[in-house]
């Protein structure tokens, strides 16, 4: 009944993976300040395509910060091809739900990761499927 | 520990009001329309409350109509004047850009019905210019409605001047005094207003009750039709304890007003001065012409809800924009109307104090702000851009 | 000593409701729209109350809209359906002759706006015939609104049958259940109604709060515009304690309903039997299909207000006609609609009991009636004429 | 603030001059049951035109009964020519006021007395001024 689930409040008050990665392999940024949310994701990817580290910076409401935190937790240690499969729905579920008016925060998280992955591909010259965003 | 600094949203019920209510809640449960002694006793109490409230605002008892709150009072006042005007070929209404939604949404409804609405500017300081009202008034203006004090930024409007202009031009003038009554002097005669809205829970009275003042001679149409209550202008069995509690709270607030204005303004100034060292932050509105307890600030690079919820984690109850629009994703229409850029308007914080607050509480609030704002900025990509001198959009 | 027998006008606040309210009145004063913990806690309590009330009438929580009472609920329901219909070329409304003024006066307003209203007969027994509704329904019927139980004579209407007819014909059906909820079983699904009005103070809940039930899919228009409360259908800061007190009272009433129906009906029957020996007196309405606690009687040759005030002198609170029309000189529209002659309708007495009443109280009431009625007749020129067999006019 | 003044309640709960006069010298009746009030006034008048006794029967609300009681008190022992001067206003004043919707009760009392006086004139064959209702 409360505005946010306990899980959301946990990830909001104690966000995981906050910060930046100097010399990141990929950086993604989505949203705009006029709409009230900007998410920036930093990725460190090893040679096998595993996300060794991920960090975020977010300007936004509690659910934007919680979505960033949860999304980074869900992809950390995963292969890039798995990370791009992360849907906003999975983020919402992992957070035990978000209010209807806040669902777009989880969408931003999904998009920020995809944006960072694309940046990684482009910086590293890796070929990828433009639809699935998976490595070829 | 809870520090309640959201008194513009609603207030704690005062002991005085609670005690006045309890008698009726326990024993005096009659319906004022009933002829037997229990009903007549309830009626007497309601009429005493009406007289007390009238005295508090310089009105006559038969100019006081009890409603369910400020929103109902605003709706009834505006619709009454609008339809009265329409019957005489007047379908133009003047208001301001930063009225409460109870006013603006009622005007939206009227626009759909063919009324024309002029919303005057509120400028950067959040204060309407009387000359703008004067030049907006037309032959077919049915109503001017301007709030006495704004609920988000606390600025007090030049109601007396506006009232005088309306009186001279023969236009009905309504003022939403929901944030002002009980906090600053309100007098319907110095205001020169024809109608005025009050909400009890904004001055430590009970929730669910308000008043529409309507000057004798100004035509009032019922919003709720039915029984003959409130001289046929507002049907429904009276919320007797609410009415009595409201009167008790208002009498007390008015009696202690001089003192509380001094006390509460000092608390507010302590906040304003206390955040002065935070870079790229500013206070919205006008420090001179402002409610004693309301202060609205913007902190660039952070978003208001996060700030709010982290303050809440420290036990501090505050607000970002007005309570009613929470759940909405748009930044406050009030700040936007004052020319605050959208991206900065997202980072607003409203603290609204009253005489229940203490200096110690203010100091705790200040130390929380000084911890939370830098933290949120440290994780904010917007703040990073600002630091680098980049354009934020 | 006070014997309160005017429960159809309003009721005593139950201990349960009072206690539920006190917690919020003292500490839990947050605004449910505020994001901080105090606001969110208030919101939780309001949502729990919504769920409880929904459960009591077979509805879903998101079909419950809190209002300031039964009158507002009736107004909003009727206007919503009327304007929705009007947009589709339907400007005909069906109701009954003896609805509450909250319904009838809203219909009067609509008539002035060009709606056509058919008021079906209520017959001598005060019960609407479903077949009259069926034959009154036209292509352009926007709404049928029939009360669940009448407030003056207590007769229960065949709501299920009327609901079924409306459903079959695709016409919106509203029922004013203000006198029924908490007293007899009310279920929006067996009723087949689209909208239903409730008022809290009629079942030992607090005054100033009510509910409009609106079935999912039925279009509801706000009567009060402003903030986003009640899913944008009813603006205004929530009267949180009223809402919570209402839910507590209703839950209790529903839990104890079987028992209280038995207990209260027995008290009512004791009155009806007890006045049986008074010549030229009779009970209005239908003993079979009636609220447990409401009994309406006429005593020829006397006038109701005198009877009422002399009963009040004995400490007995009763009513003559409905409370709302007191002060009016016309006899009750309800009795007239049932064919009671005007001169006899003037001599009506309504006693409305609930489970707070006792057998001893009934006996005191009966002995007062047996003293006062003969006295008033002894000084009544009308009674003199009746005794002489003259025609009274 | 109460519905009725104390005076009204006094005359309602303890009405003076209730009853009938057998062989009255004049009887007046006004009002009708449909409107909710009937007042009947009985007069006993002596040879000097003094109202020696007056009684009333009333069907009506508290203010009708109180108005009857007060009006009869005000004319008892008075000369007929003074009795017909009794205005409803005087009755209202003597009762310390009546609610606006009940003023008609005092009018009925005035009319009932005038009706009874006329009846007295007619029964006794006394000439009177049709405008002032005073004896000639
Ligand atoms: C049948 C009925 N409908 C509506 C109402 C209005 O309810 P409220 O006075 O609570 O607005 C009442 C009681 O006054 C009633 O008895
Ligand atoms: C300026 C102003 N007007 C109107 C209202 C509406 O009052 P209420 O919520 O009591 O209906 C409020 C507060 O919510 C307000 O601050």
CA–CA dist B218, B143 (Å, integer): 12
Atom of ligand 2 nearest to the CA of B210: 10
- For the cut 80, the answer to whether the pLDDT of residue C125 exceeds it is yes
Using a CB-CB cut-off of 8 Å, the residues of chain D touching C329 are 35-36, 101, 104
CA–CA dist D36, C342 (Å, integer): 8
Q: How high is the pLDDT of residue C390?
A: 85
Interface of B with D (CB under 8 A): 35, 40, 43-44, 47-48
Report in angstroms the alpha-carbon separations of B174 from B74, B297, C83, C369.
9, 29, 28, 52
* Average pLDDT of the residues in B303-330: 81
Give the relative orientation of helices B257-274 and B359-378 as an angle to the nearest 10 degrees: 30
Contact yes or no for C53/C45 (Cβ under 8 A): no
Summarize pLDDT for C2-55 with one digit per residue, the tens.
Answer: 999 999 999 999 999 999 999 999 999 999 999 999 999 999 999 999 999 999
CA–CA dist C156, C166 (Å, integer): 18
Atom of ligand 1 nearest to the CA of C102: 4
Using a CB-CB cut-off of 8 Å, the residues of chain B touching C26 are 13, 18
Q: How many residues does chain D have?
A: 136
* Average pLDDT of the residues in C67-74: 98
Summarize pLDDT for D65-79 with one digit per residue, the tens.
Answer: 999 999 999 999 999
CA C350 centroid distance within chain? 14
Q: How high is the pLDDT of residue A36?
A: 86
* Average pLDDT of the residues in C78-87: 98
Distance from CA of A2 to the nearest CA of C (A): 6
User: Who contacts C363 (Cβ-Cβ below 8 Å, separation ≥6)?
Assistant: C270, C274
* Residue from C2, C7, C9, C313 whose CB has the most chain B CBs within 10 Å, to mutate: C9
- For the cut 50, the answer to whether the pLDDT of residue D95 exceeds it is yes
Question: What is the pTM assigned to this prediction?
Answer: 0.95
Tokens describing residue B138: 């037309």
SS3 readout for chain C:
CCEECECCCCCCCCHHHHHHHHHHHHCCCCCCCCCCHHHHHHHHHHHHHHHHHHHHCCCCHHHEEEECCHHHHHHHHHHHHHHHHHCCCCCEEEEECCCCHHHHHHHHHHHHCCCEEEEECCCCCCCCCHHHHHHHCCCCEEEEECCCECCCCCEECCHHHHHHHHHHHCCEEEEECCCCCCCCCCCHHHHCCCEEEEEHHHHCCCCCCEEEEECCCCCCCCCCCCCCHHHHCCCCCCCHHHHHHHHHHHHHHHHCHHHHHHHHHHHHHHHHHHCCCCCCEEEECCCCCECCCEEEEEECCCCHHHHHHHHHHCCEECECCCHHHCCCCCCCHHHHHCCCCHHHHCCEEEEECCCCCCHHHHHHHHHHHHHHHHHHHHCCHHHHHHHHCCCCC
* Average pLDDT of the residues in B70-77: 98
Using a CB-CB cut-off of 8 Å, the residues of chain D touching B48 are 1
Q: Which ligand is nearest the CA of C180, by number? A: 1
CA–CA dist B22, C131 (Å, integer): 49
**B157 ligand 2 Cβ < 6 A:** no
- What's the CA-to-centroid distance between B251 and ligand 1, angstroms? 31
Q: How confident is the model at residue C327 (pLDDT cuts 50, 70, 90)?
A: low
**B147 ligand 2 Cβ < 6 A:** yes
Summarize pLDDT for B19-40 with one digit per residue, the tens.
Answer: 999 999 999 999 999 999 999 9
Check CB contact under 8 Å for B75 and C224: yes
| C142 φ/ψ angles, rounded to the nearest 5 degrees | -90, -25
CA–CA dist C178, C72 (Å, integer): 12
Give the relative orientation of helices A62-75 and A103-124 as an angle to the nearest 10 degrees: 50
Q: Under the phi-then-psi rule, with left for phi > 0, alpha for psi from -120 to 50, and beta for the rest, what region is B336?
A: alpha
CA–CA dist B74, B67 (Å, integer): 10
Q: Which ligand is nearest the CA of C323, by number? A: 1
CA–CA dist A41, A37 (Å, integer): 13
Neighbours of chain D (3+ CB pairs under 8 A): B, C
What three-state secondary structure class fits A107? Answer: helix
Question: For D3, which residue in chain B has the nearest alpha carbon?
Answer: B40
Check CB contact under 8 Å for D12 and C305: no
Q: How confident is the model at residue A33 (pLDDT cuts 50, 70, 90)?
A: confident
- For the cut 60, the answer to whether the pLDDT of residue B326 exceeds it is no
Q: How high is the pLDDT of residue C151?
A: 96
**C6 ligand 1 Cβ < 6 A:** no
Q: Of these residues, A35, A46, A124, A129, which one is catalytic?
A: A35
CA–CA dist D18, D35 (Å, integer): 21
Contact yes or no for C85/C170 (Cβ under 8 A): no
Q: How confident is the model at residue D1 (pLDDT cuts 50, 70, 90)?
A: very low
Q: Count Cβ–Cβ pairs < 8 Å, chain C vs chain D.
A: 66
CA A134 centroid distance within chain? 16
Using a CB-CB cut-off of 8 Å, the residues of chain C touching B21 are 25
Check CB contact under 8 Å for C381 and D15: no
Tokens describing residue C24: 């919020």
Question: For B38, which residue in chain C has the nearest alpha carbon?
Answer: C317
**C69 ligand 1 Cβ < 6 A:** yes
Q: How confident is the model at residue C336 (pLDDT cuts 50, 70, 90)?
A: very high
Check CB contact under 8 Å for D3 and B47: no
- Whether chain B has a CB inside 8 Å of the CB on A90: the answer is no
- Whether chain B has a CB inside 8 Å of the CB on A28: the answer is no
Instruction: Tell me how far apart the terminal alpha carbons of chain D are, to the nearest angstrom.
Output: 45
Check CB contact under 8 Å for C47 and A3: no
Check CB contact under 8 Å for B44 and D2: yes
Check CB contact under 8 Å for A2 and C35: no
- Whether chain C has a CB inside 8 Å of the CB on D98: the answer is no
* Average pLDDT of the residues in C51-74: 98
Using a CB-CB cut-off of 8 Å, the residues of chain D touching C379 are 15, 18-19, 56-58, 65
For chain C, what is the mean pLDDT?
A: 95
Contact yes or no for B374/B361 (Cβ under 8 A): no
- For the cut 60, the answer to whether the pLDDT of residue C264 exceeds it is yes
CA B291 centroid distance within chain? 10
* Average pLDDT of the residues in C135-143: 98
- For the cut 80, the answer to whether the pLDDT of residue C366 exceeds it is yes
* Residue from B317, B331, B342, B380 whose CB has the most chain A CBs within 10 Å, to mutate: B380
Check CB contact under 8 Å for C39 and B318: no
**B172: Cα within 13 Å, side-chain hemisphere:** 28
The share of chain B scoring above pLDDT 90, in percent, equals 94
Q: How high is the pLDDT of residue C322?
A: 53
Check CB contact under 8 Å for C207 and B241: yes
* Average pLDDT of the residues in B124-137: 98
* Average pLDDT of the residues in C173-183: 98
CA–CA dist B143, B78 (Å, integer): 8
Q: Which ligand is nearest the CA of B100, by number? A: 2
CA–CA dist B90, B77 (Å, integer): 16
* Residue from B310, B346, B375 whose CB has the most chain A CBs within 10 Å, to mutate: B346
Q: Which ligand is nearest the CA of B6, by number? A: 2
**C58 ligand 2 Cβ < 6 A:** no
User: Who contacts C15 (Cβ-Cβ below 8 Å, separation ≥6)?
Assistant: none
Query: CB-CB: which of B6, B30, B69 is closest to C236?
Result: B69
* Look-up of token digits 């008194």: B7
Residue among B155, B196, B199 to mutate when testing ligand 2 (max atoms within 8 A of CB):
B199
Name the strand (E) or helix (H) holding A67: helix A62-75
What three-state secondary structure class fits B59? Answer: coil
CA–CA dist B142, D128 (Å, integer): 61
What three-state secondary structure class fits B317? Answer: strand
For atom 16 of ligand 1, the residue with the nearest CA is: C151
CA–CA dist B82, B91 (Å, integer): 7
Distance from CA of B328 to the nearest CA of D (A): 48
Inspect the structure and tell me whether chains A and D have 3 or more CB pairs less than 8 Å apart.
no
**C31 ligand 2 Cβ < 6 A:** no
Using a CB-CB cut-off of 8 Å, the residues of chain B touching D8 are none
CA–CA dist C70, C176 (Å, integer): 8
Distance from CA of A40 to the nearest CA of B (A): 7
Where would I find the beta strands (DSSP E) of chain B?
Answer: 3-4, 64-67, 92-96, 116-120, 141-145, 172-176, 195-199, 210-214, 281-284, 294-299, 316-317, 348-352
CA–CA dist D18, D68 (Å, integer): 9
- For the cut 60, the answer to whether the pLDDT of residue C326 exceeds it is no
Instruction: Supply the DSSP symbol for B42.
Output: H
The share of chain C scoring above pLDDT 70, in percent, equals 97
Q: Of these residues, D20, D35, D36, D77, which one is catalytic?
A: D35
- For the cut 80, the answer to whether the pLDDT of residue A2 exceeds it is no
Q: Which ligand is nearest the CA of B70, by number? A: 2
Question: For C383, which residue in chain D has the nearest alpha carbon?
Answer: D59
Distance from CA of C40 to the nearest CA of A (A): 6
Question: For A1, which residue in chain C has the nearest alpha carbon?
Answer: C44
For atom 16 of ligand 2, the residue with the nearest CA is: B151
What three-state secondary structure class fits B299? Answer: strand
Instruction: Supply the DSSP symbol for B288.
Output: S
Q: How high is the pLDDT of residue B328?
A: 55
Contact yes or no for B365/B20 (Cβ under 8 A): no
**B64 ligand 2 Cβ < 6 A:** no
User: Who contacts B96 (Cβ-Cβ below 8 Å, separation ≥6)?
Assistant: B119, B120, B121, B122, B128, B146, B147, B157, B337
Give the relative orientation of helices D103-124 and D62-75 as an angle to the nearest 10 degrees: 50
Q: How high is the pLDDT of residue A1?
A: 47
């Amino acid at each position: 009944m409360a505005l946010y689930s306990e899980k959301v409040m946990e990830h909001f008050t104690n966000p995981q993976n906050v910060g930046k990665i100097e010399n990141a392999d990929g950086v993604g940024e989505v949203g705009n300040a006029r709409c009230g949310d900007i998410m920036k994701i930093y990725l460190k990817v090893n040679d096998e395509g595993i996300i060794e580290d991920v960090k975020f910076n977010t300007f936004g409401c509690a659910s934007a910060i919680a979505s960033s935190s949860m999304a980074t937790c869900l992809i950390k240690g995963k292969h890039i091809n798995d990370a791009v499969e992360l849907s906003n729905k999975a983020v919402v579920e992992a957070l035990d739900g978000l209010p209807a008016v806040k669902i777009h925060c989880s969408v931003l998280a999904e998009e920020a990761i995809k944006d960072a992955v694309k940046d990684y591909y482009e910086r590293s010259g890796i070929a990828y499927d433009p639809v699935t965003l998976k490595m070829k | 520990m809870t520090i309640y600094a959201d008194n513009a949203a609603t207030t704690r019920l005062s002991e005085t009001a609670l005690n006045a209510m309890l008698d009726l809640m326990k024993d005096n449960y009659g319906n004022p329309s009933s002829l037997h002694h229990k009903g007549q006793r309830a009626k007497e109490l309601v009429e005493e409350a009406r007289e007390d409230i009238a005295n508090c605002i310089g009105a006559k008892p038969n100019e006081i109509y009890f409603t369910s709150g400020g929103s109902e009072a605003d709706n009834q006042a505006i619709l009454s004047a609008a339809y009265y005007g329409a019957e005489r070929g007047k379908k133009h209404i003047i208001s301001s850009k930063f009225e409460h939604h109870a006013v603006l949404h009622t005007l939206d409804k009227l626009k759909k019905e063919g009324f024309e609405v002029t919303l005057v500017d509120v400028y950067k300081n959040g204060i309407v210019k009387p000359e703008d009202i004067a030049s907006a008034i037309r032959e077919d203006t049915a109503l001017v409605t301007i709030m006495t004090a704004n609920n988000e930024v606390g600025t007090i409007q030049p109601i007396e001047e506006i009232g005088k202009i309306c009186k001279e031009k023969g236009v009905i003038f309504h003022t939403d005094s929901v944030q002002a009554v009980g906090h600053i002097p309100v007098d319907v005669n110095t205001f020169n207003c024809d109608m005025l809205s009050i909400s009890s829970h904004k001055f430590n009275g009970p929730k669910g009750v308000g008043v529409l003042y309507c000057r004798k001679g100004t035509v009032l149409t019922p919003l709720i039709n039915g029984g003959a209550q409130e001289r046929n202008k507002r049907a429904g069995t009276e919320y007797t304890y609410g009415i009595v509690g409201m009167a008790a709270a208002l009498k007390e607030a008015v009696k202690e007003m001089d003192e509380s204005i001094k006390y509460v303004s000092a608390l507010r100034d302590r906040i304003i001065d206390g955040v002065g060292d935070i870079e790229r932050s500013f206070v919205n509105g006008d420090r001179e012409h402002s409610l004693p307890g309301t202060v609205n600030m913007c902190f660039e690079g952070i978003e208001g809800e996060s700030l709010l919820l982290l303050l809440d984690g420290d036990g501090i109850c505050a607000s970002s924009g007005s309570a009613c629009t929470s759940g909405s994703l748009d930044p406050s229409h009030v700040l936007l109307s004052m020319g605050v850029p959208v991206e900065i308007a997202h980072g607003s914080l409203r603290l609204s104090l009253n005489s229940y607050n203490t200096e110690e509480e203010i100091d705790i609030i200040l130390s929380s702000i000084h911890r939370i704002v830098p933290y949120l900025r440290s994780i904010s990509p917007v703040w990073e851009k600002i630091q680098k001198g980049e354009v934020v959009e």
